[in-house]
A and B are shown apart, each in its own frame.
Chain A
Amino acid sequence: MESHHEWAAAGDDRAIRFTGNWREYLPIAATNALLIIVTLGIYRFWASARQRRYLWSRTHVIDDTLEWTGTGKEMFLGFLIVVAILAPFFLFIQFLFPALMARGKVEAAGGVFFLFELALVYLGGFARFRATRYRLSRTWWHGIRGGSDDPGWNFGGEYLGRYALVFVTLFIMFPWATTRLWNSRWSAMSFGPLKFRANLDAAGLKARWALIYAAPFAAMIVAFAVIAAVGINLEPASGPNPTLGGAFLVIVLLFYIAIPLATLHWYAKFFRNAASATRLGELEFEFDASTWDWLKLFLGNLALAVVTLGFGLTYWGYRNWSFMVRHTRIYGSVDLGDLTQSTTHAPREAEGFADAFDVGAI
């Protein structure tokens, strides 16, 4: 029996493909929404476990589907643990900050606020790491799971340090920071005995970052041009001026369109480069979603939610996951006999921290 697989990169026999469809998912989406509403949101942990069980089981990798074994109960407990840790901290700050302000100790209040923010950044990085680790530990393929032996405390520190540098340099260092952090996080992860390796660098990302940097200025220049053009027609009339109002609208729209578009443009390239720079054993990855693809995804999500009066929100997770899978390619080979069970410790606290800080795992 052959245990060594080689496979094509495209077509029906693509190494990774999504086989779900929205009609099949509808009963899950509908019942999840209902149960979340009647439980004041507590069911959302079980809802997300059901959603993932479906999505993973409809994600075909090479010759078998993925499998999600995380449970709603463990995610709920993880959340409670995090709340028990964070709640006293938040409550303390919530009292301390106004108490200092009310006593006129503005510097002390500022200092407390600063430390609070530092702690939040650290925990945010930690949360991201733990979410990735948790998800890999609950993802199975051929009876083998992923994971990490790194608890992520150091990653939190690195995250804090790099983002402090980003802040100090007025975000100029952002591409370097995010790419290094991607490498640190993924290089600590494994699947079975295979280690992930990532060597993403900022080359090729700087131009798009410069674009985000330039977008507000470009929008301002256009805005001034519009005002200058409109300004010639300005008459010293009393009352509000409709032309000026129109110009103002153009400016606001520019800011709301130019900056998000530039950001999307950056992330599209970031994920393409990140996938190409990441390996798992002999496997190589590719992600081919363009800025336009991402834009279609987000606009589609928005339109779906609006048209269905909010029910479409229950399909965002489905759409996002199938988007990621459809745009991912896997190349290379894996020796099934060598793909032995993971020896990593399976974490128990689920995604509590990530949930609390609202960060994703990818």
Chain B
Amino acid sequence: MIEGTLYDGATAHPHAVSVVVADGRLELRQDSGWSDNVEASVLKRMDAPAGLLRIGRTDSPGWRLMLPAAAEAELGPLLGRHERYGRWIDRIGLVPALVVGAAITVVVVGTGYIAPHWIAPHVPMSWERNVGTAIVGDFGELRCRDAKGQKALEDLVERVAPGATKGPDAIKVAALNVPIFNAAALPGGYIVVFKPAITETSPEALAGVMAHEIAHVRRRHVAEAMIREFGIGALIRLFAGNVGANAEQIVSLSYTRDNEAQADSDAIAMLKRAGISPKPTADLFTKLSKQQREIPGYGAEFLQSHPLSDKRAVKFAAAVDPHRRYEAALSRDDMDALFDICLPRKK
């Protein structure tokens, strides 16, 4: 017979009870004459500090029986093992659970990381275009609408990638009146160039930048990035909180860097075919990297989405053929028109 304390779940009042284990059940008795039998199948272990055995019932939420820890010897077989890590893990053991978990995680992350690269080329361009059109629209007031300038910009695209602005998968290029030095490929074959990238560079350097963005579109890097973002990116951010967000950034950035390098190689090939010198593009990257260095905190290449401009400059500069006569990217008239693309429309 074991002496213990019982809460009945109806009030907080503790009852002194004596407990006897018999025939796979507990027989509880009180001095007042009250008694009760509880089947072992409804008993479960609860958490308790050392020295105490606390038992609950699956069929009665507040019911608690507290016995000295020594009662374990007699009641242990009835109660089974204490739930520790969670039911599944307890069943297979901690170490196997860790191994299985790690293996699944590696497969999931690996797939989420690599798969978009293989899936993206098979996504119909029309789907990507639908998404792009929904997001991009016509840019409203931001877009520079000078007709001659627009024609010159499209000529520049045609110059580095003949036929790129025609056909069902045409690249649509737009200049935006936004005071940031940048250009970007958007879903659906849209390429946007911000004003300073037009007015503060030569057409040859701009040709290099455009070729890079065209390569992103043609290699389906944009679709790839979207798939990765909505797949593994969303998954990791969902469950892992802040630590995961940082981990995810490293994953997605290092991957983007592969694509960036590929886009650079493509761009160099396009410039070569068009007979445009890669030198002005190299100079542009040198200038950008110098500006970057002047802003502290831009240090580690590891965490940047674009390979540091210095390295890219070297790559473009190495592609310069000293024996070749390069041509201008645009005619004088086109150059002037492009330069004025963001001016208010002429009468």
Hey, which bits of chain A sit against chain B, CB under 8 A?
1, 3, 19, 31, 34-35, 38-44, 46, 50, 53-54, 56-58, 60, 64-65, 67-69, 72-73, 83, 95, 98-99, 102-105, 140-145, 192, 334, 336-341
Inter-subunit contact A41/B244 (CB<8 Å) = yes
In whole angstroms, how far apart are the Cα atoms of A294 and B203 in the complex? 60
B136 (CB) vs chain A CBs: closest residue: A102
Smallest CB–CB gap between A97 and chain B, Å?
10
Inter-subunit contact A143/B63 (CB<8 Å) = yes
B46 (CB) vs chain A CBs: closest residue: A67
Complex partner residue of B11 from A50, A105, A339, CB under 8 angstroms: A339
Inter-subunit contact A31/B64 (CB<8 Å) = no
Q: Which residues of B contact A34 (CB under 8 A)?
A: 98
Q: Which residues of B contact A58 (CB under 8 A)?
A: 49
Chain B's interface size range is: 35 or more
Q: Which residues of A contact B240 (CB under 8 A)?
A: 40-41
Whether A72 touches B7, Cβ cut-off 8 Å, given contacts A39-B105, A336-B13, is: no
Inter-subunit contact B11/A337 (CB<8 Å) = yes
Q: Which residues of A contact B46 (CB under 8 A)?
A: 67
Q: Which residues of B contact A56 (CB under 8 A)?
A: 47
Q: Which of B72-80, B138-146, B321-329 contacts A (4 or more CB under 8 A)?
A: B138-146
Complex partner residue of B47 from A3, A67, A192, CB under 8 angstroms: A67
Whether A341 touches B9, Cβ cut-off 8 Å, given contacts A53-B47, A57-B49, A102-B139, is: yes
Q: Which residues of B contact A102 (CB under 8 A)?
A: 135-137, 139-140, 142
Smallest CB–CB gap between B227 and chain A, Å?
15
B48 close to A (CB within 8 Å): yes
Whether A104 touches B139, Cβ cut-off 8 Å, given contacts A56-B47, A143-B7, is: yes
Q: Which residues of A contact B101 (CB under 8 A)?
A: 35, 38-39, 43
B100 (CB) vs chain A CBs: closest residue: A38
In whole angstroms, how far apart are the Cα atoms of A53 and B45 in the complex? 12
B139 (CB) vs chain A CBs: closest residue: A102
Q: Which residues of A contact B243 (CB under 8 A)?
A: 41
- 9 CB contacts below 8 A, A to B, read A41-B241, A53-B47, A67-B54, A102-B140, A142-B12, A142-B13, A143-B12, A336-B11, A341-B10
Whether A31 touches B94, Cβ cut-off 8 Å, given contacts A67-B46, A143-B8, is: yes
Inter-subunit contact B134/A95 (CB<8 Å) = yes
Whether A38 touches B105, Cβ cut-off 8 Å, given contacts A67-B46, A142-B14, is: yes
In whole angstroms, how far apart are the Cα atoms of A69 and B207 in the complex? 65
Inter-subunit contact B11/A103 (CB<8 Å) = no
Q: Which of B209-217, B231-239, B339-347 contacts A (4 or more CB under 8 A)?
A: B231-239
Whether A143 touches B239, Cβ cut-off 8 Å, given contacts A38-B102, A38-B105, A339-B11, is: no
A98 (CB) vs chain B CBs: closest residue: B135
Interface centre among A44, A54, A69, A144, by most B CB within 10 Å?
A: A144
A83 (CB) vs chain B CBs: closest residue: B238
Smallest CB–CB gap between A322 and chain B, Å?
14
A68 (CB) vs chain B CBs: closest residue: B47
Inter-subunit contact A40/B236 (CB<8 Å) = yes
Q: Which residues of A contact B12 (CB under 8 A)?
A: 141-144, 192, 334, 336-337, 339-340
B101 (CB) vs chain A CBs: closest residue: A38
